[in-house]
Chains A and B, each alone.
Chain A
Amino acid sequence: MSTETLTGAELRRFLHGLPGVDQVGAEERAARLATRSIKKSAKAEAIDLAISMVDLTTLEGADTPGKVRALCAKGMHPDPGDVSVPKVAAICVYSDLVAEAVRTLGDSGVAVASVATAFPSGRSPLEAKLADTRQAVQDGAAEIDMVIDRGAFLAGDYDKVHDEIVATKAECGEAHLKVILETGELVTYDNVRRASWLAMMAGADFIKTSTGKMSPAATPPVTLVMLEAVRDFRARTGRQVGVKAAGGIRTTKDAIKYLVLVNETAGPDWLTPEWFRIGASSLLNDLLMQRRKLTTGVYAGPDYFTLD
């Protein structure tokens, strides 16, 4: 589905013509899927899959090259004592630290993702946002996590949101574009569905729930609605778009719930790091802890896992 020929009014009509989302029903469905009981071999598989889907993230004002190098080391070898642990999908940093991350990761296979476009608020002139993106891409970021202009979206200016995504996508070149909806600010599931379609129609390679800078960040029902959107978008256009759930996912149990959501909503085609990501920082150590518990039968204390 191409939006190049759509006028603003048509875009609006299309987005408002999407089937509504019943809040109670969506939350019930997500809660029901959360009761799936994932044990033994299925749990072991799920943990490794979740590790390989992590976008290991540091997005602080206090980030330094040293901090980023440490995070990269952790991402390449999450558990230094166990080579069977998969590496994470990507390291996610601010754009000025992309070069450092690219240097450290080398050809490890771990990608560098960079937030851009005046993350997290998105409140800057478009030219500044594009410059931010350009810099990150030039420095070697393989993935760009942009934020949408939530103000414009809530004001009904879908055109503006759309055009900014298109412009950012154009700056990305070969890099994948993840579009952050910041669903905590969109609030309603109807908005989440519309924003998902808007982003996909504008060329997003991924749609992402949140910046992680506000609460609520990713929630199971929000992710459910986004997974329904990518499923329906592929059915309609043939193009597959990925989903990234970011923020608030801290435990293995939570991560597995998201994998179940993916499995039973979008389908198993999305159950790879290519199509589903979890943006997190503290989750990884819990995954490692649970993984070691499964392989050795005993829990190791937190000091047996590195803090980076």
Chain B
Amino acid sequence: MFEYAPAPESREIVDIKPSYGLFIDGEFVDADRSFKTVDPASEEVLAEIAEADAADVDRAVTAARKAYDGVWSQMPGSERAKYIFRIARIIQERSRELAVLESIDNGKPIRESRDVDIPLVAAHFFYYAGWADKLEYAVRDPRPLGVAGQVIPWNFPLLMLAWKIAPALACGNTVVLKPAETTPLTALAFAEICRQADLPPGVVNIVTGAGETGRALVEHEGIDKVAFTGSTDVGRQIARAVAGTDKRLTLELGGKAANVIFDDAPLDQAVEGIVNGIFFNQGHVCCAGSRLLVQESIAEELLDRLKTRMATLRVGDPLDKNTDVGAINSAEQLEKIRMLSEVGEEEGATRWSPPCELPDRGFWFVPTIFTDVAQSHRIAREEIFGPVLSVLTFRTPQEAVEKANNTPYGLSAGVWTEKGSRILWMAQRLRAGVVWANTFNKFDPASPFGGYKESGFGREGGRHGLEAYLR
């Protein structure tokens, strides 16, 4: 057997401070309370993070307002573009450092943060920088909204920041952003990048904290726009809080995407797509292909191939360049994945995982598939947000569409077939914001992303993404 020796990326490249303040009006400021962020692969505490209370949030919003009125909304788009281009270039220059930092704080494999997350972050800033002086080609009489309050999740910390901040700034808005409680470090590194880029103070403010901080931000009267990516439950609370106000709202919530494999699919690539759909980023992906719908005539063969492939997944140290599946982001999330997996067994589904040695410390969950799953099972309906795949079968294209759409969510879907006409037929009928054909989990800043039904509303990315930040 060809054993790969450990190939760890060096931690030396990042300099994690013992404590971090809030980033308000271009300065790092202290807060009264703090919380800890840990490395999910080792459970070691990485740093003390300031916890913003309502007064801190108010200061941040005030700074953002001042920057909006005084500088940013007045500046020509071509000037704003210069700052955003500069940020994009600094992100590229510091990409290795940001990738390591992201993997340490989040638990995702360095291969993903290095090859997917950070390049997409830079691409997003480059893309929207290009729009800043061309907004009139996107909408008639473009005017910014004002101050945007943005709350982002822990699964793609810096990428979600980019999705939120890049279009907001390009359109002339200023922002107050709250990163997730468990993954604040790259947002704080981004705050440094804003300073490095000489971004005018107050244009970007980062307030760290947990649910209460987010609530204070969303409910603050001084913001004009709320953008949230996260769970459907929290999304509902935010929608309630915003109802009846003038605030604009976009929500990007959960998903339970169907990955539909027809009998004429390119099987080896479909297996890769299934793996990439559900085990990419430990399944912590809102658009993860967590429901595999496979045509019954090839189910057995496909599952054999999938299991063989899963046995080659390398689970472990996120900083090892050969790791495919890293650590679960938090003890809380691990508990949720375990709970729902137990429910799956109780419901009568058949559980399978490849033999796999997990590290002693840290939060880990071995890639898992459930077969014999029915539409009525909880594991086929609820978002698990972990490396757990539910396998269902179908007989006809009609049945595939019915089953794929039979979910409260509608964020993404995948179709695998060599028949072009069937791809189009399916794409027209699938109620999902994104439909991938013969691929999965592909992102590009030029392509809009967002959901139907309980997966939220509004689009991020592309020209459509500008509309969320323009009047």
Contact = CB atoms under 8 A, between A and B. Distances in A.
A24 interface: yes
B438 interface: yes
B137 interface: no
A61 B3 CA distance: 42
A254 interface: no
Contacts of B418: 20, 22
Max chain B CB contacts within 10 Å: which of A42, A43, A268?
A42
Contact of A26 (B7, B269, B322): B269
A296 interface: no
A21 B271 CA distance: 12
Interface stretch (B214-222, B259-267, B347-355): B259-267
A45 B5 CA distance: 10
B272 A25 contact: yes
Nearest to A41: B5
Nearest to A259: B2
A46 B2 CA distance: 8
Given A35-B321, A37-B7, A263 B268 contact: no
A39 B268 contact: no
Interface residues of A, number: 28
A271 B2 CA distance: 8
A38 interface: yes
Interface string B1-20: 11111110000000000000
B269 A21 contact: yes
A125 interface: no
Contacts of B5: 38-43
A21 B269 CA distance: 7
A268 B1 contact: yes
A41 B4 CA distance: 8
Contact of A264 (B3, B111, B312, B438): B312
B439 interface: yes
Contacts of A42: 2-5
Given A24-B438, A25-B273, A25-B438, A38 B4 contact: yes
Interface string B104-129: 00000001000100000000000000
B266 A22 contact: yes
Contact of B4 (A19, A20, A24, A36): A36
B322 A24 contact: no
Contact of B322 (A36, A49, A228): A36
B170 to A, nearest CB: 30
Nearest to A46: B2
B312 A22 contact: no
B7 A22 contact: no
B266 A19 contact: yes
A263 B322 CA distance: 13
Nearest to B275: A29
A24 B268 CA distance: 12
Contacts of A271: 1-2
Interface string A216-256: 00000000000010000000000000000000000000000
Interface string A1-44: 00000000000000000011110111011000001111111110
28 contacts: A19-B264, A22-B266, A22-B418, A24-B269, A24-B438, A24-B439, A25-B266, A25-B268, A25-B269, A25-B273, A26-B268, A28-B272, A29-B269, A35-B321, A36-B321, A37-B4, A37-B7, A37-B321, A39-B5, A39-B6, A39-B7, A40-B5, A42-B3, A42-B4, A43-B5, A45-B2, A228-B268, A271-B2
Interface of A: 19-22, 24-26, 28-29, 35-43, 45-46, 49, 228, 259-260, 263-264, 268, 271
